[in-house]
Structure 1
Amino acid sequence: MKSVARKYLFYLVIAIMSISSRASADSGNGVINTAEITTHTMAAALSCMDWELKGICLWMSCATFICTFDVSTKVENFVPELTMQAYNYGEDEPWGETEVANEALQASPDSSFVKTLISAVEGFNLSAFNLHGGFTSPGHKGQHANLHHRSVDAYGNPAITAYMVLANSLWGLVCYPDATPLLPYYISNLDAVSWRWGIPEVFYPQGLGFGIYDLGSPTNNYGPIYPRTSMTTQQDTFKSSVLGIYRVAHIVTRPSQGHIYREVTAPSGKGYWPPGPLSESDERTGVFQMLYPDVENDCTKFPYGGEPSAGKRDTKTQYVWNFWRKHKCCIRRGKELIYHTG
């Protein structure tokens, strides 16, 4: 896994460097760029952080026959781990720089790698699914039979480094993210077989329980979380985008999910307690900050209300959110953690 991550980072750095050689205003066909994402993330840092003092950690260090003890503060706060985008078409990424990055990673819909992936399901009528995404059935108001594809990508938040500088300026009393800036954690075109055709998710028992694993409530239902594929049956294109983003966040916060992705969660360590997998019932496992088309200066748990404002809707169905999760930690002040509270 580490070698794959290094390979991804190598390609990504090359892609970003190629973009940097252009005029700074050139960010592909995107509607938001890396600098803007960093700025909006940091602008919301204090409001989204939701910092809490939780308790203490007692540390012990021993040398020969002498042991010393020290105490540090345990805190809990949200950190910006991922920047996620949802869009209709395979070459219409709203985050401009990722278009070039996805091409470098062989993740464009017309790349030889993606075509090789979908050859595994060539028995299907691929033309009916249209790899580039978007609508696959017509929609009419009041009809809830709209079938949408959503391409979704998740990259390490580019503001992580700046966030860590902020954390250090607060005397180390802020937990760090698990994620690596700009590292791709999920690119839907690289996961074409699972994301597009639901293999093996269509066989998961979670997808059989109608209404049990849905995002929302009976009166504000955004759709089923399972199967976690590009397909959504939703008359509202905004809600289908929210559901696509949530499904990918649900995948990358869990191990061994039958998809091509990199898990964002690190194992617990001495003085560090990461959040659990994304769960609608536990806000600490994940909240979202919209970056496009609206710029939110706070974070919210998905889903939104039944009728989100017009300012949050995009006519081209291009959306970008930050994904924040709550971590618990204490500064290490010894070799062994022997006791902690909170």
Structure 2
Amino acid sequence: MKPRITRLRRLRRGLTAALLGAATSAAALDTATLTASALSPDCLSYRVTGVCYWLYCSAFGCSVRASVKVQHYVPDAVVASYANTGENPWVEMRPMSQPIPSAQAGGDGTTSEVHENDLAKFKNADVIGHPTGSVFNDFAADFGPACQGAGIAFMPYLLSILDTLAWRHNLPETVYPEALTPGMREIGTRDGLDLWGSVYPRGGFLHQTDDHKAAAVVAQRAGDIVTREGQPHVYQPLLAESRDGYWPAEALIESDASTGKWQELTPHLSSTCMTFPHDNPRAQAQRGDYAWALWRPYECCQRRGQVFLGSVDID
């Protein structure tokens, strides 16, 4: 039986590699490419973190049973950050975000002066549940017990065209302390001359000469919104509730991989994950459309009894 399972795993990974290779030069994303891209051991970061204890009772008495506690990342959502309204790079999802009377056009502001590079850039953002589903679950199960993420495939958690007041007018966040205080909630550093942008106000406008960095900041803003409750935006929280033997991801924090990390999907399809900012080469999209998979960490253990007694973590 084992040789057959091993062959199936090798076949699946071989097909994944082929799909990833074929998709690297693709101009737009499709669901098949996204599904294959999620089979990344680097992004998964699977590890054993401890032991869980359960009280199991039957007609013959009670006993304490143990199960392994594990942590790994799950691709909860695809976060698209793109210039032209209605042109989400995930082609099957474009009908969700077509222009409406209160949200049309897009692109960069310009003074038409070639010597000026301080452009006001604008990006739409869509946060949609990652489509990988059972394919990813089978992949994670190759390493051991698999934890469930918060994302539901194809579920729209944020569509910026519906969040007009906050996304296009920065209301009310333009007057928040985080938006008015330099050095607060920023991606990158001023001292290191590598400031990508500020998380607040969490809208579609910012000043940044590098289009890739601008798109990344907007993606971080969108991820920041959906991983919190009660934000002044039109969205659905991308959160799961904790339960016995299950510890879901918490709020996303910029540059903190322990809260989430990003896998670039377009214009370059990557098989690894990172946080913003990073030093990797940054490809510029010709039409200003970018997308990342947002991976978030979950911990869980297999239920082995009726009552959860607790867990012990290992270093």
Q: TM-score range by the shorter chain?
A: 0.7 to 0.9
Q: Name the residue aligned to 1:323.
A: 294
Paired residues of 1:88 and 1:149 also in contact (CA < 8 A): yes
Match of 2:267 among 290, 293, 297: 293
Deviation (angstroms), 1:61: 3.4
Paired residues of 1:289 and 1:297 also in contact (CA < 8 A): yes
TM-score by length of 1: 0.78
User: What's the RMSD between the two structures over aligned residues?
Assistant: 2.1
Deviation (angstroms), 1:304: 2.3
Deviation (angstroms), 1:92: 1.6
Residues 65/138 of structure 1: CA separation in 2 closer, same or farther (3 Å cut): farther
Deviation (angstroms), 1:262: 1.1
How many positions carry a matched residue from both structures? 285
Q: Name the residue aligned to 2:149.
A: 177
CA deviation map 1:68-89 (0-9, x unaligned)? 3211100111111111111111
Unpaired runs of 5+ residues, structure 2, are 1-26
Q: Please show how residues 163-312 of structure 1 align to structure 2 within 5 Å.
A: 163-171=136-144, 173-218=145-190, 219-305=193-279, 309=281, 312=283
Instruction: Answer yes or no: is 1:80 the counterpart of 2:54.
Output: no
- Counterpart secondary structure, 2:162: coil
The amino acid across from 2:90 in the alignment is W
Q: Name the residue aligned to 1:108.
A: 98
Residues 258/337 of structure 1: CA separation in 2 closer, same or farther (3 Å cut): same
What percentage of aligned pairs have identical amino acids?
Answer: 29
Deviation (angstroms), 1:149: 1.0
Q: Please show how residues 3-22 of structure 1 align to structure 2 within 5 Å.
A: none
Residues 210/142 of structure 1: CA separation in 2 closer, same or farther (3 Å cut): farther
Unpaired runs of 5+ residues, structure 1, are 1-29, 119-129
- Counterpart secondary structure, 2:265: strand
Paired residues of 1:157 and 1:179 also in contact (CA < 8 A): yes
- Counterpart secondary structure, 2:271: coil
Q: Partners of 1:288 and 1:212 in 2: how far apart?
A: 21
Deviation (angstroms), 1:203: 2.9
TM-score by length of 2: 0.84
The amino acid across from 2:80 in the alignment is Q
CA deviation map 1:212-244 (0-9, x unaligned)? 211111221111110100011111111110100
Q: Name the residue aligned to 2:31.
A: 34
The amino acid across from 2:220 in the alignment is Y
Paired residues of 2:149 and 2:240 also in contact (CA < 8 A): no
Q: Partners of 1:314 and 1:86 in 2: how far apart?
A: 11
Q: Please show how residues 78-157 of structure 1 align to structure 2 within 5 Å.
A: 78-100=73-95, 102=96, 107-110=97-100, 115=101, 118=102, 131-138=104-111, 143=116, 145-157=118-130
